[in-house]
Structures are given as C-alpha cells and as structure tokens.
Chains A and B, each alone.
Chain A
Amino acid sequence: MKLTALQQQSRRSNSFRGSSPLDSSMDGAIKSPVTIFWLVLHGLCCLISLVLGFRFSRLVFFLLFSNTSNTMTSTNLYSTSSFGNPSEPLAFQSTLGAVTSTSTSLPAMNFTTTAASGTSSSRVVVGRHGILIRPWPHPNPAEVMMAHRLIERVQREQRMQYGVKNPRAVIAITPTYVRTFQTLHLTGVMHSLMNVPYDLVWIVVEAGAVTNETASLLAKSGLTTIHVEYGKKMPILWEDRHKLEAKMRLHALRLVREKKLDGIVIFADDSNMHSMELFDEIQNVNQFGAVSVGILAHSGGDGEDETAVAQKEEEKNSGLPVQGPACNSSNHLVGWQTFNSATFMERSARYVGDRAIVLPRKMEWAGFVLNSRLVWRDAEDKPEWVRDLDEVAADEEDVESPLSFVKDASVVEPLGSCGRKVMIWWLRVEARADSKFPAGWVINPPLDVTVPAKRTPWPDAPPELPLPAGEKAVVLQEIAEKQATKTHSPRKRRSKRKHAIRTIDERVSTRHAGEN
C-alpha cells in the first residue's frame, strides 16, 4: 500500500484528463485587446504574488465567490490562516507555474458547492481546505509525561499478559571485598539488579569487616540489601580466594535460612555480567536449575608472542567457552559442559592481580539457581534429594559448586532452552592487591598545587599572587630569561615551592597508611 500511494500520486498526474481548458489559454497567438488585457492582468497578479509570497489570485477568487454559498465561508477562514503561514514554500513555486489553472479550478470549485448543496446536505466540503496549525506547534511537557506514563502502563499490562505469571522474588547473593576494582564490578551488578522487574533482595557478604565503602555503594542502589560481614580477610592467591568465596556464599545461605526468605536464589558474583533475560528465565525454575555460563578467560598481559600463542591455543581448544548443562535431542539433561582450561594451565594466574589468565573452577556457583525453600530448616515439601546446608558445610572443606547440595544430579533443571542460550558471563579482572585508590573514589582534600612537570612554562610562578593573564605572561617571560640569575624573589619562591611539595608528599603518605 505504500507503493500504491506513490503510484496513486503519479497516476493522477498522468491521467489528468479532466483539465481540458488548459489548452484554451495556450493558443493566444492572436493579439486581440482581450488577450492583451488578460496577459497584463496575469503579469500583475504574478508580480503581486511574488511580493506577497502566495498565490494572490486564488485569494481574490475565494473572496469573490465566497458570497455564493454558506458552506464556503467556513473554509474561507481557515484558508486565509494558511496563506499567512510563512512555512509554505510550495505556494511561492506554484505562483510562477500554471496560474492558468485557476480558471480550471474555479469552475470546479463553483461546481462542487452546487453539487454538494444539491445532494443531501453533506457537511464535509470538497475543495481546498486550510491547513490548521496551532500557534505553538511544539510538545507540551506535561502531555509528554502523561504519554510516558501511558506507555509504561501499557507495557506493564503486556508483561502481565504475555510475561511471567506469578513472579517470585529474586534473592541475589554477592560475595565482595574492598579493592580497587570493587566499585567497577559492584556498580555493574547493582545496575543489573536495579533493572530487574521483580521483587529483589540483595545479600552482600563482605570479606573482612563491613566497610563504609561498600555500604555507601549499596546505599545508592535503592534496593533491599542485607549487608553482612564474614570475618576473614580475602586472600591473595586465586585458589584460596575461590574457597573463601564459597564459604561466604554458604554464610549467605545460612542467612536465607534464618530469615526464611522466600524466592529464587541466584549467585551474582560481583565481576559477572548478567543479562535481563536471565532473570526472566530463572522464574521458570522449580527447585534446582542450571544455566549456561559464558567463560571469558581474560588475559591481562600484552606482547606479540602472546597473540601467536593464543592463536595456537584456539586451534587446539575446540571447545566452547561455556559451562553449563548439556542436553540430548529430547531436551533431557545428560551431562555437563565445562570449559577446557587444560591449555591455559601453564599460564594461569596464581595470585590476584598478576597479569595472567584467571581460570574458573569446574562448575562455577554462578551457573546455578535454587529455590530458597531448599535451604530452609524444615519446609514441608522439601524433596529427598536435597542435603542439609549444615551437613554440606561440615562435610566438605571446600564446596566447589552447589551440586554438592543434590544427591542425584539428574534432578537439576536445565534452563535457557536447555543450556543453549547463554545469559550470564563469568569474568575475573582485578588489579594488584596492593594497588591504591582514593577512598570512595573521591579525591580528598582537593589538590590545589600540582607537582610541576619538567617542561612546565612557569616553574617559579608564585601561587598566591593572582596576576591578570597578560601581565603573567610578561612576568613569566622575564623569569624565563632570568633563569640563571639569582635574585631575591626567585629564591624565596623556590623555597616556598619546595615546602609546598613536601607537605603534599606527607599528605599522600598519610592517606596510604589510613587505607589499609
């Protein structure tokens, strides 16, 4: 139909057979007084139209013939308003064009009025109508807000109808600790969780003590958070770090049990990336589900030989960087797909922040979701295949993955079209354990004097004399010329500068001491 509209337009211009009188005006070969008169009138109308900017003759005819019928007067008003509109460039072009067509349209207009009035009183008139434009044709902000609220309501209705019925709350468990990259990672998780359309409880377990750093970050989220501490400090070796994180997650699960939180438990590690579809998909879990996790084994090092080695590895490692459930063709869980980290073993990272590839464990906690009732002390319909939380914690020194909770792995529900859709990505990027960063990422106190670099143009400029720009330039040039000479003022300034540098150093060092 879009094509037909275009075609319609061209068709009507092609077969414009109705306009016969066009020819009559063309054969003005005979210079009779009448034709001369009409030519003069035509020229005059053209000139006036040029000056005014719209087709003047039409207006005249309109006004002349508007007396003949009542129906025309209503359109008369509108048409004049449109002529006054300066944003009609077409009007100007058409004045130079066929002014002769006024004669054709005139009888047509006349005709239509009689025809329209002749039949059963049609209120809708055929003919030229004005283009109604309101005085301020721009959006009204109050109406825009109303429209957005409408859109939101419609989308909510859509979600209710086509989305998940009876959505359950989501309980996200995140182990964290204060370090340089904490803000980066935690903000990412926070923003993902803030966008989840379901009820959410965020349990943040912090290694070491509960700090203001983490607390201030969590306060910005506006989510329901439970911020607890786990006594031990986060170790530096990756092996130990993984083990401690597992213990922290168990600690959070104990919290879930104590508070009898109801919902779906998801392990949102702070450096992972979650897609919104993940949260929609986990609503489908019954008791214990598994999703596929994309493994981004990241190498922080640079160097040309690295890339060559990486290419060779790609050829060797034909497996996918995915950890998750594997299904057969009838969508039943038959096994697990893991990330083949054998090729990376030699170059894997040992401690946090060394620039080597951080490898995941066999099955990461992040790939599992469970119904919170599984960890409750006495729930009525707890299935027999689930082991008690305390039992598991006591049994194994290191609970590698929540699979330890199930006696029989076949009860695990594969989610995300049976593990084929990856909706969560595992990544570990950290700075060195001893790297420094300003507390709360606010540089405090603000530095008013910076340590000058070697090639700064004004090494001896006094900070306390605010000279106007022009003068300063002159002064600087003078100073530059007199570099070698030892006058009184430079010496004083130099000593002051040294003093200033010393104080800065002191301040910086005290901050370092206070951080750890």
Chain B
Amino acid sequence: MRNWRWGLIGIVFLAFVIRTEAWKFSKAQHEHTERISGSAGDVLEDDPVGRLKVFVYELPSKYNKKILQKDPRCLTHMFAAEIYMHRFLLSSPVRTLNPEEADWFYTPVYTTCDLTPNGLPLPFKSPRMMRSAIQLISSNWPYWNRTEGADHFFIVPHDFGACFHYQEEKAIERGILPLLQRATLVQTFGQRNHVCLKDGSITIPPYAPPQKMQAHLIPPNTPRSIFVYFRGLFYDVGNDPEGGYYARGARASVWENFKDNPLFDISTEHPTTYYEDMQRAIFCLCPLGWAPWSPRLVEAVIFGCIPVIIADDIVLPFADAIPWEEIGVFVAEKDVPKLDTILTSIPTEVILRKQRLLANPSMKQAMLFPQPAQSRDAFHQILNGLARKLPHDRSTFLKPGEKILNWTAGPVGDLKPW
C-alpha cells in the first residue's frame, strides 16, 4: 500500500512538472508570434499532399506556352499566378496521370497574357480563348461532360475574375462566363454580393515577386516610426478627371482629409525605398482602386505593416483560412474622414497582437508564390482550399443525358472561335 501511495504522489508530481514545462514552452512561443486559425480552423499549416489528386489536361501549346513565348512579361506582372500554378502542378505530388482517380481537373489556359505595350492585359479575347479551351476538353475527354465542369477548376486572376473585363460596369454586365457556371474559380477578385464572385470560389492574393521583396528586407529592430503609410494614386486623372469614380471616391477622400496630417505619410511619388518604408510603418493603407484587391495587401503582410483595408464588402485571400479581422483593420468607405480617430483609438494591446500575428512566418508564406514552391505557400493554400471542398456532393455528377450549361449564352462576340 505504501508503494502505491508513493507511486501516486510521484505521478502527480511528474504531471505537475510536465504541465508547467508545457505552459512555459507555449508562453515562450507566444512572445514573438501567434498561431493563426481562421474559420476553417488551424488550416494554414495543412499539407494537401495525399488529400486530393489533380489531373492536368494537356492542351496544345497555343493556349499556354506560345502565349508566354510571345510576351514573357506575363511572368512578372501581378497576374502571373496562373502561369506559376501550372508549373507547380506539373511537378507536384498531387498530380496524377490517371484521370479516373482525379478529384479535380485543371485546364492550363493563360487568359491574362494578352498585354498592351504598357504591360496591362486586354481581356477582350479571353472569353473566346476560355470557350475554345473548354470546347477542346469537352470533346477530347469525357470528364467535362460528366459533370459539366463541377469538378474542374480554373485560374482567372484578372481584375474582375471570370467576368473578363477591367471596367466594373461592363464586367457586371457580362457576368461570369456562362460555361464556367459550375466550375470552381480561383481568382484574385473578391467582393460580397457581386456578380463576378460566385459561391465556392477561392480567393488568392495577387502575384508579388518574392525575391524582390526579400532583397529589400531591413533588420527587424529598426524602429517603426511612420504611423500611416501609403504610396499610390488618389485621383486617376486620365480616366476619371472629376474624381468620384475611381475607388468610389475613397482614395480622394483620404487625400483631401489627411494631406497635411503629419501622422499620414501619403503621396503619389514612387520612391526607391518603398519596401523599406513599409517596414518602418505601423499601418499601411490598402484602399480599393478600380478593383477592390491590390498587391499592397501582400506587401503589407510580408513587411509586418498592419493593413488598413478600405473596400466595402471585400473578400480577402483565403478568407476561410486566415482571420483577416484579427490581422487587419477594416474601415468602411464612409468612415474614411474619421480614419485618424479610428486608428488612434485602437487599444495598444490589439495593435501589438496584430503585429504578432503578422510576424508569424506561416502568414507570410501563405501570401507568396515562390519558385520553386515551398511548403505552406500560396500554391499549397489553393490546394488546401480545393481539398476542403472534397468530397464532391451528389449534384456534381450529372445523370446521363442531363444538360445544364447553355453553350450559346453570352454576348455574340464570345461565340466566335479563337
């Protein structure tokens, strides 16, 4: 009996010691960074390998390689995610060469690579290109007709996603390409209750060159002395001379209210120290422009600057995996004149917590598209998002003979062959 008692005491003592050690360990971790868990749980660190299989269609090179050869600038602009995703999938372990066992089907068509001399993509041929690609895969493989695209995904990183137009009114008018109605869209555009964002889409960050950003890192003990930082246009004089159209007047409002406020370091200049300045700032403004998303969000996250998002109803990248409410500050467009009051009334503890969350390396990794791909980067988050949608429900697979898509819907110009 006495041995028993001693044994019990020993076990209790051990348990106590272990608990305190564990508590100390977790506390040490909390000093620098904090774990990120969004509405889907702690999913930023999931590994998609083994959870899904992707089949990559072999399209003729006129849909991808030839376009890239014609204009290699597509590799560095902010829509380059479509090209890098293709390259990643070709050599990823989730790729399968057997389409019968695939959960998802990927069509490598570079719709955002028709660039003007200035480097901006023209979306006028994209609907025809997409349609022609879909016609090809539906006629050469049976998998499209099996589900009418419900287990296919497409990467459409352009301004308004699959609406294929840069002007919002025209994009809304066109709506999402009818043939893509059942497919999963991976796009940068995200705005709630908007025609161009359909349910089940995966929002991704725009492409930002990782090496360029790494090259401009400064030591982390450089004190953050700028309160609010922003560089960019406030008025788009070329396309919207009177103001009020561009950014729904929000950027102009920021300028008019805070141009002489010493806390706000805002201007339209293009300094060479742009990245370094962001690392010396506490808040970085990320207002909408012609579209609600911008690479500024990615840059702010990489450089540890709290993003102040001024875009009503925006859907941010990987919104189910990343708790953006806890990381960034959301300001309604009508509250822009009170921006200084809002920012200075945030409690200090909240700001420090946001900075700790931003310092988490998994947060920064999730926003990047590095080459070659690293674990937990944006490619893997896209795959995680696709894996979370599995298994496909019964409506995915159509009964034989059932047809839902209307192949002749849409503007007449889209029906011309590409």
> Is the CB of A347 closer than 8 A to any CB of chain B?
no
Query: In the complex the two chains form, is A9's CB within 8 Å of B236's CB?
Result: yes
> Is the CB of B193 closer than 8 A to any CB of chain A?
yes
Interface residues of A in 107-163 (CB under 8 A from B): 108, 111-112, 115-116, 119-124, 126-134, 137-140, 143-144, 146-147, 149-151, 153-155, 157-159, 161-163
Q: A126-B172, A131-B252 given as contacts; is B239 within 8 A of A12 (CB)?
A: yes
Give the CA-CA distance A213 to B5 in the complex, in Å.
75
Distance in angstroms from B52 CB to nearest chain A CB is: 30
Query: In the complex the two chains form, is B195's CB within 8 Å of A147's CB?
Result: no
Q: A88-B243, A137-B256, A154-B282 given as contacts; is B263 within 8 A of A147 (CB)?
A: yes
Give the CA-CA distance A13 to B246 in the complex, in Å.
13
Distance in angstroms from A196 CB to nearest chain B CB is: 15
Give the CA-CA distance A155 to B222 in the complex, in Å.
9
Q: Which of A89-97, A393-401, A405-413, A501-509 lies on the face that meets chain B?
A: A89-97
Query: In the complex the two chains form, is A140's CB within 8 Å of B243's CB?
Result: no
> Is the CB of B58 closer than 8 A to any CB of chain A?
no
Q: A4-B78, A9-B233, A133-B337 given as contacts; is B169 within 8 A of A115 (CB)?
A: yes
Query: In the complex the two chains form, is B167's CB within 8 Å of A18's CB?
Result: yes
Q: A111-B173, A130-B244 given as contacts; is B194 within 8 A of A122 (CB)?
A: yes
Among B248, B258, B262, B289, the one with the most A-chain Cβ atoms within 10 Å of its Cβ is: B248
Give the CA-CA distance A477 to B263 in the complex, in Å.
59
Query: In the complex the two chains form, is B289's CB within 8 Å of A5's CB?
Result: yes
Give the CA-CA distance A154 to B78 in the complex, in Å.
32
Q: Which of A91, A128, A143 contacts B341 (CB 8 A)?
A: A143
Distance in angstroms from B163 CB to nearest chain A CB is: 12
B348, closest chain A residue (CB): A153
Give the CA-CA distance A251 to B133 in the complex, in Å.
89
Query: In the complex the two chains form, is B241's CB within 8 Å of A90's CB?
Result: yes
Chain B neighbourhood of A130, CB < 8 A? 244, 249
Query: In the complex the two chains form, is A13's CB within 8 Å of B232's CB?
Result: no
> Is the CB of A25 closer than 8 A to any CB of chain B?
no
Interface residues of A in 1-30 (CB under 8 A from B): 1-16, 18
> Is the CB of A183 closer than 8 A to any CB of chain B?
no
Query: In the complex the two chains form, is A133's CB within 8 Å of B120's CB?
Result: no
Query: In the complex the two chains form, is A143's CB within 8 Å of B340's CB?
Result: yes
Query: In the complex the two chains form, is B256's CB within 8 Å of A120's CB?
Result: no
> Is the CB of B102 closer than 8 A to any CB of chain A?
no
Query: In the complex the two chains form, is B344's CB within 8 Å of A146's CB?
Result: yes
Give the CA-CA distance A490 to B160 in the complex, in Å.
96
Chain A neighbourhood of B355, CB < 8 A? 154, 157
Interface residues of A in 415-460 (CB under 8 A from B): none
> Is the CB of A79 closer than 8 A to any CB of chain B?
yes
> Is the CB of A82 closer than 8 A to any CB of chain B?
yes
Query: In the complex the two chains form, is B231's CB within 8 Å of A2's CB?
Result: yes
Q: How large is the interface on A (under 10, 10 to 19, 20 to 34, 35 or more residues)?
A: 35 or more
> Is the CB of B235 closer than 8 A to any CB of chain A?
yes
Q: Which of B221, B263, B343 contacts A163 (CB 8 A)?
A: B221
Distance in angstroms from A52 CB to nearest chain B CB is: 14
> Is the CB of A249 closer than 8 A to any CB of chain B?
no
> Is the CB of A55 closer than 8 A to any CB of chain B?
yes
Q: Which of B14-22, B182-190, B290-298 lies on the face that meets chain A?
A: B290-298
Query: In the complex the two chains form, is B239's CB within 8 Å of A9's CB?
Result: yes
Distance in angstroms from A391 CB to nearest chain B CB is: 42
Chain A neighbourhood of B242, CB < 8 A? 55, 88, 90-91, 94, 128
Interface residues of B in 354-373 (CB under 8 A from A): 355
Chain B neighbourhood of A78, CB < 8 A? 249
Query: In the complex the two chains form, is B238's CB within 8 Å of A132's CB?
Result: no
> Is the CB of A87 closer than 8 A to any CB of chain B?
yes
> Is the CB of B71 closer than 8 A to any CB of chain A?
no
Chain B neighbourhood of A82, CB < 8 A? 243-244, 249
Give the CA-CA distance A149 to B343 in the complex, in Å.
13
Interface residues of B in 194-238 (CB under 8 A from A): 194-195, 208, 219-221, 223-225, 227, 231-233, 235-238
Query: In the complex the two chains form, is A159's CB within 8 Å of B345's CB?
Result: no
Query: In the complex the two chains form, is B253's CB within 8 Å of A131's CB?
Result: yes
A142, closest chain B residue (CB): B344
Distance in angstroms from B20 CB to nearest chain A CB is: 21
- Indicate with 1 or 0, residue by residue over B334-353, a CB within 8 angstroms of chain A CB atoms: 10111011011110100110
Distance in angstroms from A250 CB to nearest chain B CB is: 37
B252, closest chain A residue (CB): A131
Q: Which of B238, B253, B295 contacts A133 (CB 8 A)?
A: B253
Q: Which of B227, B260, B295 contacts A138 (CB 8 A)?
A: B260
Chain A neighbourhood of B208, CB < 8 A? 1
Q: A126-B172, A131-B256 given as contacts; is B294 within 8 A of A3 (CB)?
A: no
Interface residues of A in 40-57 (CB under 8 A from B): 55
> Is the CB of B86 closer than 8 A to any CB of chain A?
no
Query: In the complex the two chains form, is B166's CB within 8 Å of A12's CB?
Result: yes
Q: A88-B243, A144-B262 given as contacts; is B169 within 8 A of A14 (CB)?
A: no
Q: Which of B225, B227, B233, B260 contacts A5 (CB 8 A)?
A: B233
Interface residues of A in 67-111 (CB under 8 A from B): 78-79, 82, 87-88, 90-91, 93-94, 97, 108, 111
Query: In the complex the two chains form, is B220's CB within 8 Å of A7's CB?
Result: no
Give the CA-CA distance A87 to B243 in the complex, in Å.
12
Provide a sorted-by-A list of 29 A–B residue pairs whose CB atoms are within 8 angstroms. Answer: A1-B208, A4-B77, A6-B233, A7-B116, A7-B118, A8-B289, A9-B239, A11-B118, A12-B238, A18-B170, A87-B256, A90-B241, A97-B241, A122-B313, A123-B193, A124-B194, A124-B248, A124-B312, A126-B172, A131-B252, A134-B257, A140-B340, A144-B263, A147-B340, A151-B225, A151-B282, A158-B220, A159-B221, A162-B221
Binding site for A on B (CB under 8 A): 31-32, 77-78, 116, 118-120, 122, 166-170, 172-173, 191, 193-195, 208, 219-221, 223-225, 227, 231-233, 235-239, 241-245, 248-249, 252-253, 256-258, 260-263, 270, 274, 282, 289-290, 294-296, 299, 312-313, 333-334, 336-338, 340-341, 343-346, 348, 351-352, 355
Q: Which 8 A-B pairs have the closest CB atoms?
A: A162-B221, A134-B337, A11-B120, A7-B118, A146-B344, A129-B249, A155-B223, A131-B249
- Extra A-B contacts (9), CB below 8 Å, given A134-B338, A150-B282: A1-B299, A10-B118, A90-B242, A124-B191, A124-B193, A132-B334, A137-B260, A157-B352, A158-B220
